[in-house]
Amino acid sequence: MNRRIRLWLVAVAGTALAALLVAACLDLPDFGGDRHPYGDRAVDASLARHTANTVASVNFDQRAFDTLGELTVLFAAVVGCVVLLRQTRDEHRARPEPEPVARPVRRYALAVLPVALLTGLYVIAHGQLSPGGGFQGGVVAATALHLLYLGADYRALERVRPLGLYEAGDAVAVSAYLVTGLAGLIGATAFLANTLLPYGTFNTLSSGGTVPLLNAAVGMEVACAVVVLLARFLDQAVEIEDPTGKGSGTP
Amino acid sequence: MNGWILAATVALGAGAGATLWGVATGPLRRRVVAQNLSTALACLVLLLLAQGYDRPSYVDLALVLALLGPVGTLVFARLLADDLAEDPPRAWGPTYLVVGAGAAVVTALCVATGPSRASAKLLVVGALLIGGNVVASRALSGGFSGLRRG
Amino acid sequence: MTPRAAMRTTLRAAAEFLAWWTGLAVLWLILISAVGPLELAVGATVAALGALAARAARRAVTGR
Amino acid sequence: MADAVIIVALLLVAAAATTAVLVRDPVRQALVLAVLGVLLAVLFTTLQAPDVGLSQLAVGSALTPLLLLLTVRKVRRRGRKEGPRR
Amino acid sequence: MTAVTHVLPYLVAVWIFLIGCYGLATSRNLIHAVGCLSVCQAATYVLLLAVGYRDGATAPVFSDVEPGSRPVVDPVVQALALTDVVVGATVTALLLALVVQVAKRHGTVDPDELSELRG
C-alpha cells in the first residue's frame, strides 16, 4: 500500500467524514443556547457544598472518581516515559558542563523562579475559589523549577532537583488522593464522597469539604510528574550519548 | 458592548493576526520574535477581557501568561541557540512597540480600577510582562552564544 | 572557618532568606482577594518555601 | 457584540491550526503550536472558561514546546542521516 | 445574531479536526505527526466549550461574583475540557518518548522509511 493509494484513501474518507460532520453540526442546538440542564444542577450542587469554583467542585467532588482515573493516566504516562527513556547498557552518561549564559537572562531566571513557584502554589491553594486548581498550579510550579535549566545550565538544575524525592512525591500524592477517598468510605458514606469534612464558610480557603485536600494532592502529583517527565527528556537530550559517540559533540 | 472588549477585539485581530503571519512565514529569527510578541499581546488581550467582562479573577490568567510567556521564549532561545547563531534576531523595534502598548494598557486599567489591591496586582502583571519580554528579546539576540552542550 | 566567619555567613544567609520571604509574602497579599487568618498562614508557609527555593537556586548557580 | 471577539478568536485559532499542520519542519511547527496554545487560551477566555484557559496556558506555552524541542535535539543528534530539511 | 454564528464554532472545530487528520496522514516526520495529533485534540476542546456556552453568561466561578446574580456557562463541559487538556499533554509526552525510541532503534523518523525497514 504505497503512499499514493494511502493519500487517495485519506482524501475519499476525509470528504465523506467532512460531509457527515457538517450535517451533524447543522442539527446541533444553536451556539449560545439557554438549555444547560447538567450545568444548572452542577452549579446548585456546588453551591450547596459551599465550593465557589463550580469547575473544581465538578472535578473533585461530583466526578472525583473520574479525576482519579485521570490521575492514574498521568501516573501511567510518567512511568511509561521513565521506562522508555531509560539509559540502556551501551549508552554512557556525560557530565553536563557549566554553560555561559548572558547575565540579564540568568538574573531574570533567578528572580522569576520563586515568583513563578509562589504563583503556582497560589493557583493550587485557591483551586476551589478562583480559576485554577491542582492541574494548572502543578504545571506552573514544575515549569518554575526548570527556569534554572533555561537561565543557567543542566548541572545547576540537577543540583537543586533530587529526582528520587520527586518520584516518591509523585507516588505519595496519588496515594494521598486514594487515602482521602478511602477516608470518605470509612468515615461516612461512599468512596471519594464529600461528606467527611464540614463545608466551611463560602468563598474562604477552608470551604468545600475535601475539595481543597484533593486539589492539593493533585497539585503535588502533577508537579512531581512533570518534573520527572522533563528530567527524563533532559537526560536524553543533554546527557546520554550513544555507544558510538555520535550523540555527543555540538548539538 | 463596552470599550474594553472592543479594544481587546482590535488588539486580538490586528496584533495576534500579525504575529501569526510572522510566525508562519519568513526566516527562523523573525518567527521566534513573532512568538515572543504573541505571548505579550495575548497577555494584554487577557487583561482587557478581564476588565471588559468585569471579572477580576480573570487577571490570574494574564498573570500566569506574563510569567510563562517569556519562559516559553527562553526555551526556544536556548534550544535553538545554534540555529539562531548565524543571524541572530535584531527586532528591538516591535519589542519596544509592544512594551509601550503594554505600559499604556496597564496604566489605563489601573486608572479604571482605582487605587486598590487589584490595581497593585495589575502593576505586578505589567512589570512581569515588560521585564520578561525585554529579557526574552535579549536572550533571543544572543543570550546563549557560547553554548556547547545545550 | 573561624566561628566569627561562620556566624557572618549564617547571618547573611538568614538576611537573604528574610528578604525573599518578605518580598514573596507581600506578593501573596497582592495576589489574594480576601484576607483571612488561614490565607495568611498558608501565605507565610508558601513564601518560606519560595524563599528556600530562591536561596537554593542562587547557590546552585553561583556555587558552580 | 461580545460575540465579535469570539468570532475573531475562532478564526484566528482555525488559521493557527491550519498553519501548524502545513508547516512541515518540527522546529517551526513547535513555534506555531506555541502561538496556537496562546490563541486557544484567549478563545477559552472569551467562551468564559478561565480554568481551561489557564491549563492550556500552563501546558501549551512552556511544557509542550520544551518536550518537542528536546525530542528534535535528541533525534537530530541521533539520526545522522537526517534527510534534507523538508 | 446572524445564522452563520449559530453554527460557526462547531464548523471551526470540525475544520481543525479534519486539518489535523490531514496532517497526520501526510506527515513525513513523526515529531510533526505528534504536533498534528495535538492539533486534532485542540478541536475537541473547541467543540466541548462551544457546546457549553450561553449567551451573555459568565464563568461559573463565584469568587468575585454573587451566585445567581448573572447567568453562568455550563461547568460540566469545562471540567471535561480541563481533563482533556491535561491528558493531551501527557499523551504528547509519551508519544515523543516513543519517537525517541524509534529514532534510536531505526535511526530515522520518516514513517514511510520505517514501514520499509520491518525493524
Q: Which residue of B has its CA nearest to D8?
A: B13
What percentage of chain B exceeds 70 in pLDDT? Answer: 96
**Which residue among D14, D24, D43 places its CB closest to the CB of E15?**
D14
Cell numbers for A213? 485536600
- Contact assignment for A139 to D59 by CB distance below 8 Å: yes
Nearest CB to C53 within list A117, A159, A205 = A117
Taking each continuous run of H as one helix and of E as one strand, the counts in chain C are 2, 0
Q: Indicate the number of domains in chain A.
A: 2
Chains that touch C (3 or more CB pairs under 8 A): A, B
Q: Using CA atoms, how far apart are residues B31 and B37, in angstroms rounded to an integer?
A: 10
Which residues of chain A from 135 to 154 reach within 8 Å of chain C, CB to CB? 145, 147-148, 151-152
Domain positions in chain B: 3-140
Please answer yes or no on whether D51 and A32 come within 8 Å at the CB atom. Answer: no
Note the pLDDT of residue A244: 63
Which amino acid, D73? R
- Where do the domains of chain E lie? 3-117
Mean pLDDT of E54-60: 89
Residue A42 lies in a domain: no
Using CB atoms within 10 Å of the CB of residue A83, give its burial: 0 to 12 exposed, 13 to 18 middle, 19+ buried. exposed
How many angstroms away from the CA of E53 is the closest CA of chain A? 5
Give per-residue burial for E30-43: e unless 16+ CB within 10 Å, then b: bbbbbbbbbbbbbb
| Tens-place pLDDT, residues B61-110 | 999 999 999 999 999 998 888 888 777 777 788 888 999 999 999 999 99
- A1: buried, middle or exposed (CB in 10 Å: 19+, 13-18, 0-12)? exposed
Tell me the per-residue pLDDT of A178-211, one tens digit each, with 9 for 90 and over: 998 888 888 767 888 887 788 888 888 888 788 8
**Are A140 and B64 in contact (CB < 8 Å)?**
yes
pLDDT for res A1: 65
Determine whether the interchain pair D71/A233 forms a contact, defined as Cβ–Cβ distance below 8 Å: yes
- Mark whether A102 and A165 lie in a shared domain: yes
Touching chains B and C? (3+ Cβ pairs < 8 A): yes
State how far Cα B34 lies from the chain centre.
10
CB contact under 8 A, A56 and D77: no
> Which chain E residue has the Cα nearest residue B118?
E64
Query: How wide is the angle at C-alpha C41 spanned by C-alphas C37 and C46, nearest 5°?
Result: 145
Q: What is the pLDDT of residue A248?
A: 37
E29–D6 C-beta distance less than 8 A: no
Residues of E in contact with A30 (CB under 8 A): 6-7
pLDDT at res. B149: 60
Judgement on whether residues A157 and A198 belong to the same structural domain of the protein: yes
Strands A240-241 and A92-93: antiparallel
Residues A26 and A59 in one domain: no
Q: Name the more confident of B150 and E113.
A: E113
The predicted pLDDT at position D78 comes to 60
Residues A5 and A76 in one domain: no
Spatial CB neighbours of B95, under 8 Å, sequence gap ≥ 6: B33, B36, B37, B133, B134, B137
A240 band by pLDDT with thresholds 50, 70 and 90: confident
Answer whether E61 touches B (CB < 8 Å). Answer: yes
| Tens-digit pLDDT profile for residues A47-94 | 888 888 999 999 998 888 899 999 999 999 999 999 998 888 878 887
Separation in Å, CA A36 to CA A29, A31, A42, E77: 11, 12, 10, 10
Q: Band of the pLDDT at B1, cuts 50, 70, 90?
A: low
Residue A112 lies in a domain: yes
What is the spatial distance between Cα B99 and Cα B132, in angstroms, rounded to a whole number? 10
Q: Does the distance separating the beta carbons of A106 and C53 come in below 8 Å?
A: no
C29 touching B (Cβ < 8 Å): yes
Q: Closest Cα partner for B8 from A165, A52, D6, A78?
A: D6
Q: Please tell me the distance in Å from D83's CA to the nearest CA on chain B.
A: 17
Contact assignment for D52 to E78 by CB distance below 8 Å = yes
pLDDT surpasses 50 at A128:
yes
- Per the model's pLDDT, the better-predicted residue between B142 and D8 turns out to be D8
Residues 146-165 of A with CB under 8 A from D: 146
Q: Is A244 in a helix, a strand, or coil? A: coil
Under 8 Å CB pairs connecting chains A and B tally to 80
Residues A11 and A66 in one domain: no
Query: Across chain B, what does the average pLDDT equal?
Result: 89
* Substitution target from A105, A150, A203, A205 for chain C, most C beta carbons within 10 A: A205
Rounded distance, CA A157 to CA E78, Å?
35
Q: What is the pLDDT of residues E18-45, one digit of tens each?
A: 999 999 999 999 999 999 999 999 999 9
Judged by CB atoms closer than 8 Å, whether chains meet at D62 and B60 is answered as: no
Could you tell me the pTM of the whole model? 0.93
Q: Exposed e or buried b for every residue in E64-74, given b needs 16+ CB within 10 A?
A: bbebeeeebbb
Phi-psi region of C2 (alpha: psi -120 to 50; beta: other; left: phi over 0): beta
Cα distance from A233 to chain D (closest Cα, Å)? Answer: 7
Please give the interface size between A and C, counted as residue pairs whose CB atoms are below 8 Å apart: 71
pLDDT at A190: 82
Asked if D74's CB is within 8 angstroms of A135's CB, the reply is no
CA distance readout (Å), A216 to A122, A174, A236, B19, E75: 11, 11, 31, 37, 21
Rounded to an integer, the average pLDDT of A92-114 is 85
Classify residue A224: in a domain, yes or no: yes
Return the bridge partners of E72, or none. Answer: E58
Instruction: Sort out which chain B residues have CB atoms less than 8 A from C30's CB and list them.
Output: 117, 120-121, 124
Nearest to E8 among D7, D25, D29 (CB): D7
Q: Which residues of chain D have pLDDT under 50?
A: 79-86
Under CATH, what is the fold of the domain E3-117? Helix Hairpins (1.10.287)
Question: Could you tell me which chain C residue has the CA closest to the CA of A202?
Answer: C34
With CB atoms and an 8 Å threshold, state whether A104 touches B135.
Answer: yes
Q: How many cross-chain Cβ pairs, A to D, lie less than 8 Å apart?
A: 60
Interface contact flag, E60 A43, Cβ < 8 Å: yes
Q: Indicate the range of A47-61, B42-56, B104-118, E103-117 predicted with least confidence.
A: E103-117
**What is the percent of chain A with per-residue pLDDT over 70, rounded to a whole number?**
96
Complex ipTM tops 0.90:
yes
Q: What percentage of chain B has pLDDT greater than the value 90?
A: 61
Q: What confidence tens digit (pLDDT) does each residue in C7-61 have?
A: 888 898 899 999 999 999 999 999 988 888 889 999 999 999 999 999 998 888 8
Cβ separation of E64 and B56 shorter than 8 Å?
A: yes
Pick from B55, B63, B117, B123 the residue to mutate for testing the C interface (most C CBs within 10 Å).
Answer: B117
Interface B–C counts its CB contacts (< 8 A) at 12
Shared domain check, A109 and A231: yes
Distance between CA A1 and CA A39 in Å, rounded? Answer: 48
DSSP annotation of A30 reads P
Give every CB contact of residue D79 below 8 A, 6+ residues apart in sequence.
E103, E107, E108, E109
Q: Determine, for residues E39 and D17 on separate chains, whether the beta-carbon distance falls below 8 Å.
A: yes
Q: Hunting for cell 485554577 — which residue is that?
A: A132
From chain E, pick out residues whose CB is under 8 angstroms from the CB of D33: 35, 38-39
The whole domain housing A22 covers: 1-30
Q: How far is CA A175 from the centre of its chain?
A: 16
The yes-or-no verdict on residue A249 having pLDDT over 60 is: no
Domain count of chain C?
Answer: 1
What pLDDT sits at residue A247?
Answer: 44
Identify the pLDDT of residue E118: 59
Mutate to test the interface with E, among D6, D12, D13 (most CBs of E within 10 A): D13
* Residue D58 to residue A143, Cβ atoms within 8 A: yes
Beta carbons of A105 and B143 less than 8 Å apart = yes
Angle at E75 between CA E69 and CA E81, to 5 degrees: 150
Integer Cα distance of A53 and A133 in angstroms: 9
Across the range A210-222, mean pLDDT stands at: 91
pLDDT of residue B2: 84
Mean pLDDT for chain A?
86
Residues D19, B23: C-beta atoms closer than 8 Å: yes
